[in-house]
Every structure is written in structure tokens, then in C-alpha cells.
Structure 1
Amino acid sequence: MGEGDILTDLERSDEDCILRFADGASYKLSYLSIRSRCQCAKCKPRQENEQRIIELEEELSRLMLEKPQVELVGRYGIRFEWPTGCSSGIHSFSHLRKVSEELGKQLD
């Protein structure tokens, strides 16, 4: 994990969150984006190709994605507790940075 990947702040709203990293970069990211990129053993196989990712996102978008509970895991990641599904995946700070860069909106 690079120093810039360290998450320094997580500001949560009802549908999305703002992630701030040690290098000063900030991203607005939807909970759907985070949930659809879960790395747990149950969710990861559903991301093996573009078609499966689309199917997973469609399934998740039909669910009512409520604001998840968040738990810090050590000094390297966060566990999101989703009211409508998976709560076993740990999202490392470097994984959250990658998802933020790919799917989030960079803020000034």
C-alpha cells in the first residue's frame, strides 16, 4: 500500500460517501460502486468478467441500498455492513483508492 492510498477521512451521506486520502485526493463514491466491487469470497467470483459485473450491479440496483454501518479494520481497511447483503468483505484502503479512481468523481 502506497502512502497516498491511506484513507484519512470518510464522510458519509445517505447514498454516497466522500473518501479523502493521505496525498490530498478526494473522491465522491456511491455505495453501489463500493458494494459492487466487494472482494469477499462470495462476491469476487461475480466480478470475473464485464457481463457478470453488469448482472451484479443490476441485481444490487434493485435492492434498497441503505447507508451501511462502517467498521475500521486495523490500519489498512474498512468493513461495510450492508443491511441488504454481504458484510464479510474487507475493503483495503488501496482497493478503495482503486475503486474511487475508476468509478468515483474526483473532488477539488
Structure 2
Amino acid sequence: MEIPELNRLERREFDMHLTWSDGTEHEVTYDDLRHACPCAKCAPQRNDDQSSMILRRSVEKLPKEMPTVRPVGNYALSFDWNNGCSSGIHRFERIWRLGEKLDPDNGKAYVHGAW
């Protein structure tokens, strides 16, 4: 999937405002971002609806905070939280899908191991 380049990311109290090179703008809440963490610990918890709901509830119970954001190469961002998981590397396509209110996992269950 070809997506525009991320031109600007504004961190706000409960969400971030993203502006892309084609003029598209998104708001992504920190709760949605945390729920969509692609790390090996969090991703399997979204494989079925019940586990995903449990993960969502645990994310919503965490204290609200604004993460530190750092680039990962030229393809992704990492979000560092004072509490909860900070292991996920969020590719720009994943962040775009969150902004578009699409499944960031693109309907694919987490599979551990070599591909």
C-alpha cells in the first residue's frame, strides 16, 4: 500500500494530529495507538475479539500520558511511555491505517517466528 509521507506530527494531551504530504489529516488517540502496539507481546492479544477487548480495557486503565516519539529509520516511529508497553515499532503504513480507522493488522493474525 502506497501512502503519503508524514509531514507533521503534533502531540496533544490525549491524541496526536498527523498531517500527510497529500494534505490528509488524522487524529489518532494514544489509547488506539497503544491498543495497536505491534510488538510480540501485545499483537497476539488482538487475535480474537475477547482478547482484544481485554487488551483495550487494560490500555484504558493506564494513566493518560503524552509519549516521547522517536523515528526508526525512515519507515517507522517508536513511542516511549512511562508505563505500559514501549516495544512496538509503528510503521508509517500502520499509523496511516489507524488514522483512516482501518484495522492496523490488515486482518492478519499475529504469527511468531520466521516468515
TM-score by length of 1: 0.88
Gaps of 5+ in 2: 103-115
The match for 1:2 is 2
Give me the whole-angstrom Cα distance separating, in 2, the residues matched to 1:74 and 1:16: 23
Give me the whole-angstrom Cα distance separating, in 1, the residues matched to 2:53 and 2:100: 19
Q: Which has the higher contact order (CA 8 A, sep 6+)?
A: 1
Alignment RMSD: 1.3
Over residues 32-66 of structure 1, what are the superposed CA-to-partner deviations in whole Å (9 max), with x where a residue is unaligned?
A: 00010000111100110222111111111111021
User: Higher Cα Rg: structure 1 or 2?
Assistant: 2
Over residues 8-30 of structure 1, what are the superposed CA-to-partner deviations in whole Å (9 max), with x where a residue is unaligned?
A: 11001111110112221111111
Runs of 4+ in 1 over 4 A off after TM superposition: none
The match for 1:55 is 54
Aligned length: 102
Give the structure with the higher percent helix: 1
Q: What amino acid is aligned across from residue 62 of structure 2 in structure 1?
A: L
CA contact (8 A) 1:65 1:84 kept: no
- Percent of aligned pairs with the same amino acid: 37
TM-score by length of 2: 0.83
